[in-house]
Amino acid sequence: MVFRHKILAVIKALGGFSLAQTFTKRGLQVLCYHGISLRDEHYFQPKLFMHEDTFRERMAYLKKRGYLVLSLDEALAHMNQKTLPPRALVITFDDGWLGIGTKAAPLLKEYGFPSTLYVTTRDVLSEAPVFDVALRYLLWKKRNETLALSSIGLDSETIVLSTADEREHVACRISEFSKNWDDHDKQAMLLKLTKTLGIDLNPDENNPLFRLMTMEQLARLPLGGMNLQLHTHRHRLPIDDPEGVKSEIIKNRAVLKRIVSGPLQHLCYPSGKFHPSQFPLLKKLGIESATTCLSGFNYPSTEHFALRRFLDGENIAQLEFEAELSGFLELMRKLRWTLQGRQNY
Ligand SMILES: [Zn+2]
């Protein structure tokens, strides 16, 4: 057990978590998940993918401890009216990874937990592996081996893939090399790489790796209580380009409209990147709320275009998850921010 966990275990045993809950119970917590592993993705990127057993443990904890899981719309309405019940919580998912549909959605339905799935639509329509993530997975699978760049059409260098830095360096070179390619050419590159490295990205045809759900799969989710919302078309929201922002939201919304009957008015910033100068334009585009990757609880005074979330993943120990949910870590953040003299957290 790492030192931080030892401390948290002592604080929990002394009743610190229960006490923290009484001070923070009026804050809204928003949980953020990305993918559920189909095979070993949680070892590859534990912040992005979680094992289904870990996710099951988290949901069981919410049920056991009486957290009130609300839809995003319900929670925001309560926040506006300052009527948020204690232990209110919202569950969100980013991107639309296949494992969310096949593993998380049935479990949420079983528990009766509503949720929001922010969908990035270009990779849904392509029905192909998400290039940047699949590329890094292939290099990770061959860690400690070498890659002759000539085998994929780059230069004559042979790279050792032993450290995360070296693999990231190669991934960036390949991404840069292929940045102006169309999807077809990028997928051809991935195929070439899978053959060179001897890895199958499609070992189970029903569960291909690093794919987002198809439109048909997404269309079935609202029946189980999962509300589909906006995450831009190409997973980007430029900071200084209003036309680019408009185009991303309009395309994203147009694709989702084919399968969503309700309003598409909630946005999740791709990779959590945003700037307050974007808020008026988002409002004009009919957006009511936007979630970030900033940690913290949300209160009636919290800006709806900068909602805070807790990014849960396989990298988060259960004790850490409990510490966050109890509000103990929220109190620690407030204390730190107060000491730093920050007015607005
Ligand atoms: Zn995303």
CA of 270 to the centre of ligand 1 (A): 5
CA of 198 to the centre of ligand 1 (A): 29
- The sign of the dihedral angle between the CA atoms of 300, 302, 305, 309 is negative
Over 60: is that where the pLDDT of 343 sits? no
Looking at residue 204, its pLDDT comes to 82
CA of 93 to the centre of ligand 1 (A): 9
Q: What pTM value is reported for the model?
A: 0.94
Q: How far apart are the first and last CA of the chain?
A: 31
CA of 118 to the centre of ligand 1 (A): 8
Mean pLDDT along residues 154-175: 84
Over 50: is that where the pLDDT of 229 sits? yes
Residue pair 210/201 in contact by the 8 Å Cβ criterion? yes
Over 50: is that where the pLDDT of 192 sits? yes
CA of 56 to the centre of ligand 1 (A): 22
Over 60: is that where the pLDDT of 250 sits? yes
User: How many angstroms separate the Cα of 148 from the Cα of each of 23, 51, 96?
Assistant: 57, 33, 33
pLDDT, tens digit, 9 for 90 and up, residues 263-275: 999 999 999 999 9
CA of 47 to the centre of ligand 1 (A): 12
Question: Both tokens of residue 273?
Answer: 């990147």
Buried b / exposed e across 28-52, counting CB within 10 Å, b at 16+?
bbbbbbbbbbbeebbebbbebbbbb
Mean pLDDT along residues 308-323: 97
Per-chain residues with Cβ under 5 A from ion ligand 1:
94-95
Query: Domain 23-127+226-325 classified CATH 3.20.20.370?
Result: yes
Residue 215 to residue 125: CA distance in whole angstroms: 7
> Domain spans of the chain?
23-127+226-325, 131-197
Residue pair 131/191 in contact by the 8 Å Cβ criterion? no
Q: Cα 39–169–99 angle (5° rounding)?
A: 20
Over 50: is that where the pLDDT of 189 sits? yes
Looking at residue 152, its pLDDT comes to 75
Q: 344: pLDDT confidence band, cut at 50, 70 and 90?
A: low
The 3-state DSSP composition of the chain as helix, strand, coil percent (nearest 5) reads: 50, 15, 35
Question: For the chain, what is the mean pLDDT?
Answer: 93
Over 50: is that where the pLDDT of 53 sits? yes
CA of 88 to the centre of ligand 1 (A): 24
Per-position DSSP letters for 65-95, written without gaps between them: TT-EE--HHHHHHHHHHT-PPTTEEEEEEEE
pLDDT, tens digit, 9 for 90 and up, residues 197-207: 888 888 888 88
Bigger pLDDT: 174 or 58? Answer: 58
Strand-strand pairing, 29-33 and 310-311: parallel
Over 80: is that where the pLDDT of 106 sits? yes
